[in-house]
Structure 1
Amino acid sequence: MKAIVQESYGKWDTLKIDEIPIPIPKENEVLVAVKGVSLNAPDWRLLQGKPFVVRVFSGWIKPKARVKGTDFSGIITVTGSSVKSFKAGDQVYGDLSSCGFGAFAEYVCIDEGLLAKMPSNLSYANAASLPLTSVTALQAVRNLAKVKEGDRVLIVGASGGVGSFIIQHCRNLKAHITAVVSTKRIPQAIRLGADDVIDYLTEDLAQATTKYDVILYVNGSYPISIFHRLLSSKGRFVLVGSSNLKHILYLSIFGKSLSKKYDKSYQVLMAKPNAGDLSYITEVVEQEKLTPVIDRQIEFSQIPFWIGELEKGHIGGKIIVDLDGQK
């Protein structure tokens, strides 16, 4: 089968298209013919093996996983002997980030416990945009931030894959949403449900005076310290999928002491794929309460280049690939 393979750490041009064997599913797995995939932040972070600490998991000298990619959609072709929830022919989608990656290929194997039936009202490519980012957003909003109706919510980095879903999850909970985005992303944030916007290109968030019940920090270069005074008493601060290792380490070490000192909650989200949350995503998408924001659709052969572009941080939504239409 065709796959995008990485033999060494480096830039996007270290990725090559190659022919590799079709995987064989274990008894609790299914084999899926991939019809759609999408790009995510882990694709470029793991590509370079930076910061160096990620190599504890990804391999010290060279990548353990030759084929990258987390999100996919497709059709089940073979089921393992103990699989109960799915059958050949089911249209499904999933996130491979917890089981070795491998979505950038024509076939993938995945445990049935990480799989869900894809929304019936989306194409394969659009469905593939959902698993990692929409579930990450859901777990941040529901599990850690515990957003409820009437909460004043500040979303820092609200225009990317995760941020655009956080806006929608908060909107569905009837929270009052302030989105921090660039000038050109303001219309998108308002369309998705933001009540107010802060243009980080023209406004200094450090000078803001509004208090928020919840702050969801998805992306940005702000120090954690500026959020202490923006967070209301008993407020909840959640660091979501940050690429800033210093922020992650700081809150992992000092989060509990900060919570006690300021009488507020400071937490780091470690999202975990699961079928229950993904099935919920299917439900709300079919109810038209959640929709993916697509930045662009590319060819399979363009994946390496666009992983490189993703690192620059100016993508407004998801980059998707339609393998179904290319066969």
Structure 2
Amino acid sequence: MKAFVLRSYGSPDALELTEIDKPVPGDGEVLVRVRATSVQPYDWHLMRGEPYIARLMAGGPGLRKPKITILGADIAGQVEAVGRGVTEFRPGDEVFAMPKQGGFAEYVCVRESELAPKPKNLSFEQAAAVPLAAGTALLGLRDEGRIQAGQRVLVHGASGGVGTFAVQIAKAFGAEVTGVCSTRNVELVRSIGADEVIDYTVEDFTRKGQRYDLLLDNAGSRPGSACRRALTPKGTYVVVGGPGGRWLQPIPHVLAALAVSPFTSRRTATADVVRCTENKQNLITLTGFIEDGRITPVIDRRYPFEEIPEAVRYQEQGRAAGKVVITI
């Protein structure tokens, strides 16, 4: 099969299109013919081996060279074959998943426990946009943020991959949602259901005087102390990402936010879907929202398989409104 292989850390040019053996599904695994995948910060962080401190950690990307050689955390496709013990799927089934690696290839093996039927009303490209970004938004709002109907929720960084899902998921839970984004994305964020949109080039939401029950921070461009100022006395601040250099990004921002949490009535939490152990159930929950029309993936650009390096290069700029997807 064809795959983009990462043999050493570097720029998107380090992704080498080559022929490798098609994987064989083991016990409890499903071989999926990948029809679409998506690109996200998780991929280019692994590609560059950043933050550097992660290379020193157990389970990290590898000290001198990458442990994960085929990137692509999200997939949508069709079942090609099943391993021993697989009972839920059979060849031809349309599925999607977040295997965390292997999507930048024509085929990938996925554990049955991580695989879910593709939403019936989505194309493969739309379905591939869902797992990691929407799963992160769901984890941040429901699990860490403990969202409740009627709450006032602010999504900082509302026009990105996680943000566009977060606005829609918060609305699905019955919240009143404010999105923060740049001027060029105001209409987009309003179109996906935000009750109010704040243009950060014009207003600073931390000084606006409004108070929110839950703040989901995808951007990390404002200090945690300022974000907590925008919360109600019992509000919750959920950190998804943040700025930083090659060595620590975004660890200082996250740690700074968590450090003061014990000394205030406002809760602080972090959301990292990669550590979530209920990916399949989350996909099933998201499918319910998608099939009843409450969530629609926002796609910024589509690229053919051969242009994956260019897709990664574009996504790395941090200006994508919604998701960047690849058709295979």
Q: In the alignment, is the contact (CA less than 8 A) between 1:92 and 1:118 conserved in 2?
A: yes
Aligned 1:111-260 pairs, distance under 5 A: 111-242=111-242, 244=244, 245=248, 248-249=251-252, 251-252=254-255, 255=258, 258-260=260-262
State which drifts further: 101-110 or 270-279: 270-279
State which drifts further: 126-135 or 234-243: 234-243
Report what 1:301 is aligned to: 306
Partner SS state of residue 280, structure 1: helix
Q: Please, which of 66, 86, 89 is the counterpart of residue 69 of structure 2?
A: 66
Report what 2:50 is aligned to: 50
Report what 1:265 is aligned to: 267
Report what 1:94 is aligned to: 97
Q: 1:285 to 1:138 in 2, by over 3 A?
A: same
Alpha-carbon distance, 1:136 to partner: 1.0
Partner SS state of residue 72, structure 2: coil
Give the letter for the 1:16 counterpart.
E
Q: 1:246 to 1:71 in 2, by over 3 A?
A: closer
Aligned counterparts of 1:103 and 1:25: Cα–Cα separation in 2: 15
Instruction: Point out where structure 1 has 5 or more consecutive residues left out of the alignment.
Output: none
Q: In the alignment, is the contact (CA less than 8 A) between 2:137 and 2:165 conserved in 1?
A: yes
Alpha-carbon distance, 1:208 to partner: 2.0
Report what 1:36 is aligned to: 36
Q: In the alignment, is the contact (CA less than 8 A) between 1:252 and 1:267 conserved in 2?
A: no
Aligned counterparts of 1:26 and 1:58: Cα–Cα separation in 2: 24
Give the letter for the 1:264 counterpart.
R
Are 1:290 and 2:295 an aligned pair?
yes
Aligned counterparts of 1:74 and 1:126: Cα–Cα separation in 2: 11
Per-residue CA deviations over 1:93-137 (Å, capped at 9, x if unaligned) read: 10012xxx1110000001011110001111111111111111111
Alpha-carbon distance, 1:169 to partner: 0.7
Aligned counterparts of 2:253 and 2:156: Cα–Cα separation in 1: 18
Aligned counterparts of 1:28 and 1:103: Cα–Cα separation in 2: 19
Aligned 1:18-37 pairs, distance under 5 A: 18-37=18-37
Partner SS state of residue 58, structure 1: coil
Q: 1:45 to 1:31 in 2, by over 3 A?
A: same
Q: In the alignment, is the contact (CA less than 8 A) between 2:38 and 2:75 conserved in 1?
A: yes
Give the letter for the 1:106 counterpart.
E
Q: 1:4 to 1:154 in 2, by over 3 A?
A: same
Partner SS state of residue 260, structure 2: helix
Report what 2:327 is aligned to: 322
Alpha-carbon distance, 1:49 to partner: 0.7
Aligned counterparts of 1:114 and 1:270: Cα–Cα separation in 2: 17
Alpha-carbon distance, 1:259 to partner: 2.8
Q: TM-score, normalised by structure 2?
A: 0.93
Give the letter for the 2:320 counterpart.
I
Partner SS state of residue 228, structure 1: helix
Give the letter for the 1:322 counterpart.
T
State which drifts further: 223-232 or 114-123: 223-232
Aligned counterparts of 2:154 and 2:286: Cα–Cα separation in 1: 23
Alpha-carbon distance, 1:258 to partner: 2.4
Alpha-carbon distance, 1:250 to partner: 5.3
Give the letter for the 1:318 counterpart.
K
Q: 1:278 to 1:8 in 2, by over 3 A?
A: same
Alpha-carbon distance, 1:72 to partner: 0.7
Alpha-carbon distance, 1:18 to partner: 0.5
Q: In the alignment, is the contact (CA less than 8 A) between 2:34 and 2:105 conserved in 1?
A: yes
Report what 2:316 is aligned to: 311
Q: TM-score, normalised by structure 1?
A: 0.93
Instruction: Give aligned pairs, total.
Output: 319
Per-residue CA deviations over 1:73-107 (Å, capped at 9, x if unaligned) read: 1111111111122112211010012xxx1110000
Partner SS state of residue 289, structure 2: helix
Q: In the alignment, is the contact (CA less than 8 A) between 1:6 and 1:67 conserved in 2?
A: yes
Q: 1:6 to 1:88 in 2, by over 3 A?
A: same
Alpha-carbon distance, 1:249 to partner: 4.5
Report what 1:279 is aligned to: 284
Partner SS state of residue 279, structure 1: helix
